């Protein structure tokens, strides 16, 4: 690895490493999440609102690539004036003569990462605003979000129902969904899923694949079970690596995150 790569790993790792130390997730899963978020794969942390859920989202924001521009959505006050494609995505400008936002405020899908709380409560991004944010993922915008939900099915059900009314193909771009839960030792990730975006095969046929389980926490054994090997090729493609390169880089990052931490 290069000196710049090592330095960047050192800057990004502390908060994530702390979560591994606190057993919110293990080093293997943390390293995979790191690789995916570093490649601007969208991520959602679902669970009860609270410090643990927010800490996971904050740690993931640390993992974004150096050129990423996080944009914190303003909840019910969000007007998307900074997003050039907002009307294309179904947003109705609330000011008749809004015009274009100044260039310094406008965002590019190639670098912008939407930071949101996808909830209908105070300060949350919901309804038409959440729908626009989700649709923006198809244009290349990134996302790191939190959401109240007890599992993947709950998350998808809420986003498909009114007032968000997102469709399945749009939700397939949510990327990584980490579900938070409670263990005797405290809050932790109890399941990690990967939503596989709609794609086309070499013949142009639409391919819709079901979500894949990346890892689950086994409460009886008090450890994580890992299943990402089943879609290693897809994950490698999302990180622009070959499968063997993804495996080696994940092992390197897991070693760094787990260095000096007693195994559970």
CATH of the domain at 37: 3.40.50.300
pLDDT of amino acid 5: 53
- Which domain range does residue 63 map to? 3-76+112-258
Helix (H, G, I), strand (E, B) or coil at 197: coil
Is 180 among the domain residues?
yes
Is 181 among the domain residues?
yes
In tens digits, the chain (264 residues) has pLDDT values of: 444 555 555 555 799 999 999 999 999 999 999 999 999 999 999 999 999 999 999 999 999 999 999 999 999 999 999 999 999 999 997 654 445 555 447 999 999 999 999 999 889 999 999 999 999 999 999 999 999 999 999 999 999 999 999 999 999 999 999 999 998 889 999 999 999 998 767 767 778 899 999 999 999 999 999 999 999 999 999 999 999 999 999 999 999 998 644 443
Is 229 among the domain residues?
yes
Alpha carbons 80 and 212: distance in angstroms, whole number: 32
Alpha carbons 20 and 70: distance in angstroms, whole number: 24
User: Buried b vs exposed e over 29-54: b needs ≥16 C-beta within 10 Å?
Assistant: bbbbbbbbbbbbbbbbbbbeeeebbe
Q: Tokens in use for 166?
A: 């997102």
Is 72 among the domain residues?
yes
pTM of the predicted model as reported, rounded to 2 decimal places: 0.91
Is 102 among the domain residues?
no
Is 84 among the domain residues?
no
Is 264 among the domain residues?
no
Domain count, the chain: 1
CB 256 within 8 A of CB 9: yes
Is 147 among the domain residues?
yes
pLDDT of amino acid 25: 96
Alpha carbons 186 and 217: distance in angstroms, whole number: 13
């Amino acid at each position: 690895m290069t000196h710049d790569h090592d330095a960047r790993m050192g800057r990004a790792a502390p908060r994530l490493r702390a979560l591994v130390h606190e057993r919110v997730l293990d080093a293997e899963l943390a390293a995979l999440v790191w690789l995916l978020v570093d490649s601007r794969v969208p991520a959602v942390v679902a669970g009860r609102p609270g410090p643990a859920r927010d800490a996971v989202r904050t740690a993931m924001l640390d993992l974004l690539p150096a050129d990423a521009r996080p944009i914190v959505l303003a909840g019910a006050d969000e007007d998307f004036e900074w997003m050039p494609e907002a009307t294309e995505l179904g947003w109705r400008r609330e000011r008749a003569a809004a015009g274009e936002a100044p260039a310094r405020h406008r965002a590019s899908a190639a670098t912008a990462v939407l930071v949101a709380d996808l909830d209908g409560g105070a300060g949350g991004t919901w309804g038409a605003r959440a729908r626009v944010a989700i649709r923006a993922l198809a244009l290349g915008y990134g996302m790191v979000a939190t959401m109240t939900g007890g599992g993947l099915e709950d998350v998808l059900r809420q986003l498909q129902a009114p007032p968000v009314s997102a469709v399945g193909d749009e939700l397939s771009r949510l990327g990584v969904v980490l579900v938070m839960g409670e263990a005797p030792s405290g809050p932790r990730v109890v399941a990690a899923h990967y939503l596989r975006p709609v794609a086309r095969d070499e013949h142009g046929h639409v391919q819709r694949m079901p979500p894949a389980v990346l890892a689950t926490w086994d409460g009886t054994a008090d450890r994580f079970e890992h299943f990402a090997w089943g879609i290693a090729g897809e994950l490698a493609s999302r990180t622009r690596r070959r499968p063997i390169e993804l495996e080696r880089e994940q092992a390197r990052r897991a070693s760094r995150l787990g260095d000096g931490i007693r195994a559970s």
